[in-house]
Amino acid sequence: MSKEAPQRKIFTLTKLNEALERHFMQEFGVKNFWVTAEIVKINQKGGNFYLELADSVNGVKTAQMSAYIWAMQFQELSKSLGEEIRTILVAGNKVLFQLKIEFHKVYGLKLNILHVDPSYSYGEIERIKKENIEILKREGLFGLQKEIHLPILAKRIAVIGSPETSGYRDFMDTLFKNNAYRNFKVKVFPSSVQGDRSVSELINAIQKAQDYDVDVIVVVRGGGGKMDLHVFNDLELCRIICRSRLPIITGIGHESDDVVADLVANTPTITPTAAAKFLFMRIYTFSKDVMECFDAVKGLSFFQVSNAIDEFRHAHNYLVLFARELLNSSKHLLQQRSHAVQRGLLFVLSQERSDVELRLEKIANLALNRIRLTKDVELSNRIERVELLAMNSIERNLADVNNLEELFHLLNPEKLLKSGYTISTLGDKDLMECMQGIVGKELKTLTTHSLVTSTITKQEKITKNE
C-alpha cells in the first residue's frame, strides 16, 4: 500500500503578510535600534522623506533597505537639530539612525527613522578628512599649493562662490569698500557651495579660472556647520585645488577645525571677509613699507647731500686759497723769467755791439791797408769806393743793431702786457703748443694787473683768405 501524500497547507499572500506583520509587531514593535548606514538616495514628498539606505564592506554592497521619515517626525528633528538636519540627510553621507522595524502587509518591510545622531556623522567626516589627507600626501599633492608664489600685489582676482549668498556679498563689500586699497579687477565664476551639484560646479569653476589672466583664485563660502562644509573635504575637489597653477585663497566660514580645502590651499582664511582683508592689507602693508623705505632713503639722501655740501664748501675754500697761492707763485715766476729774458737780451745786444765794433775796426784796418796798397794806382777812386762801402756796411750794421734793440723792446713781456696784450697758458704751456682737445679745459690769461682763469667752451678754426 502506498503512503498518502501529506495534505498541503496553502496561504494567501495576504494571510502570509498578516502573519509576518504580527510577527514583526510582536518581536520588534516596541524596540528601537541604532543603525549606521549610507544614504544612497533621498526624496521628499508631501513633507515626508523617503530614503534608500545601504551598507558596504571594502566597497562591496552588503545590504540595502528602504526607510522613511514622516513629516511630523522631521519637524521634531528640525526642532532639536535645526537646519543641520538637512545637511546630514544628503546622499553620500553615512549616518547613525534610531529607527523602528515595521512590516506592512501591503508596503512590505520598511525602516521608520525616529532620530539622527549628528555626532556619528561628524566623526565620519573626520575619518574622511584624515583619509583624504593621507591620500593627497601619498600622491605628492598635499603641499603643492604652498610652493606657488602668491604675488604681493594680487590685483586681478578670480572669485568662486555663490553670488546669492551673504558670504559672497561680504567678500565683495569688504574688497571694494575699505579705506586701504580698492583698485581690484574681479572675474566672478558662479558656483553653488552646498548640495549635490556643488563639488562638480566648484571643480569646473576652478578649471575655468586657470584660463584667465588673474593673479589669484579666491573660493568663498559663508558660515555653516561641519555637514554644510563637508563639500570642501571632497577628495577630487582638493586634488584640483592642489594641481592649480594659480595660488588659491580659501575664505570659508568654518568652525574651529579646518576643511581639507583649507589645508591644501595656498592661503586659508576663516571667513570671506578675512580673505578680502588679507588681499587689501597685503597691498596696503607693502605700499606702506615702500613709503617707509622711500622716506628712509630720502632722509639718508638729504644727510649725504648735506655732508657733500659741507665737503664741497671745504674743498672750495681750499681751492680758492691754493689758487691764490699758485697765482702769486706764478706771478713771481713770471717776473723772474721776464727779468731773465731782459738780461739775456741785454747780453745778446752787448755781444752784437762788440761784434759790430770788431767788424768796424777790421773793416777800417782793411780799408787802410787797401788804401796803402792802391793809393798810388787808383787812390782817389778807391777812396771814394771805400768810403761808400764803409758807409753802407756801417749803416747795415747799425740797422741790425737798431733792429735788435727794437726787437728787445718789442719782446719785453712787460711792454707787451702794458700795450694791452695778454699771455695765455694751458697747464703751464703756451696755448699755441696745445691746440687739440682744449674744450672744457682751464685757461690762464695774464694781464698787466691780474691773472684770469677761465674755461674753454668752444674752439673754431679760422681760415685765412689768400
Type of residue numbered 43: N
Residue 27 phi/psi, 5-degree rounding, is: -85, -40
What is the residue range of 154's domain?
A: 147-270
**Confidence at 202, pLDDT banded by 50, 70, 90:** very high
Residue pair 452/445 in contact by the 8 Å Cβ criterion: yes
Q: What is the enclosing helix (H) or strand (E) of 253?
A: none
Contacts 24+ apart (CB under 8 A), 459-465: 459/435
Query: Which range has the worst mean pLDDT, 50-59, 243-252, 455-464?
Result: 455-464
What does the H/E/C string look like for 406-429? HHHHHHCHHHHHHCCCCEEECCCC
- Read off the pLDDT of residues 287-337 as tens digits, 9 standing for 90 and up: 888 888 888 888 888 888 888 888 888 888 888 888 888 888 888 888 888
Query: Pairing state of beta strands 33-45 and 156-161?
Result: unpaired
pTM score > 0.85 for this model? Answer: no
pLDDT digits (tens, 9 = 90+) for 383-418: 777 788 888 888 888 888 888 877 777 777 777 777
Q: Which residue has the cell 703756451?
A: 430
Please report whether residue 136 resides in a domain. no
Domain match, 97 and 163 both = no
For 337-363, the pLDDT digits (tens) are 888 888 888 888 888 888 888 888 888
**Edge-to-edge, what's the strand order for the sheet holding 185-190?**
185-190, 156-161, 216-221, 248-252, 267-269
Residue 258 lies in a domain: yes
Q: Both 301 and 398 in a single domain?
A: yes
pLDDT at 145: 92
CA distance 175 to 274: 10
Give a yes or no: residue 444 inside a domain. yes
Residues 63 and 165 in one domain: no
Range 436-442 average pLDDT:
78
| 411 and 299 in a common domain | yes
Same-domain check for residues 351 and 261: no
Question: How far apart (Å, rounded) are the C-alpha atoms in residues 240 and 247?
Answer: 12
Domain assignment of residue 132, yes or no: no
Q: Is residue 230 part of a domain?
A: yes
Mean pLDDT of 225-254: 87
Least confident of 142-151, 279-288, 320-329, 414-423: 414-423
The whole-number average pLDDT for the span 430-452 is: 78
- The whole-chain average pLDDT of the chain stands at 84
- Asked if 266 and 151 sit in the same domain, the reply is yes
Measure the CA angle with vertex 404, ends 400 and 409; round to 5°: 150
> For residue 122, is pLDDT > 80?
no
CB 133 within 8 A of CB 260: yes
Q: Are residues 386 and 440 in the same domain?
A: no
- Count the domains in the chain: 4
Asked, for residue 6, whether it belongs to a domain, the answer is: no
Among 58, 93, 126, the domain boundary falls at 126
pLDDT of 461 > 80? The answer is no
Task: Give the separation between CA 284 and CA 74, rounded to whole angstroms.
Answer: 50
pLDDT of residue 217: 94
| pLDDT value of position 428 | 74
Asked whether residue 415 falls in the same domain as residue 434, the answer is: no
Check whether 106 has a pLDDT greater than 90: no
Per the model's pLDDT, the better-predicted residue between 190 and 83 turns out to be 190
Q: Which of 268, 277, 282 lies closest to 145 in space, CA to CA?
A: 268
Residue 131 falls inside a structural domain: no
Whether residue 320 sits in one domain with residue 266: no
Of 126, 156, 172, which residue constitutes the final position of a domain? Answer: 126
What is the pLDDT at residue 466? 47
- Looking at the fold, whether 116 and 165 belong to one and the same domain comes out as no
Position 374 scores a pLDDT of 67
Grid cell at residue 422:
695778454
Confidence of residue 456 (pLDDT cuts 50, 70, 90): confident
Residue 46 sits in a domain of what CATH number? 2.40.50.140
Residue 288 counted as domain residue: no
Residues 164 and 256 in one domain: yes
CA Rg value for the chain: 59
The band of 148, judged by pLDDT with boundaries at 50, 70 and 90, is very high
Query: What CATH number does residue 264 fall under?
Result: 3.40.50
53 in the same domain as 77: yes
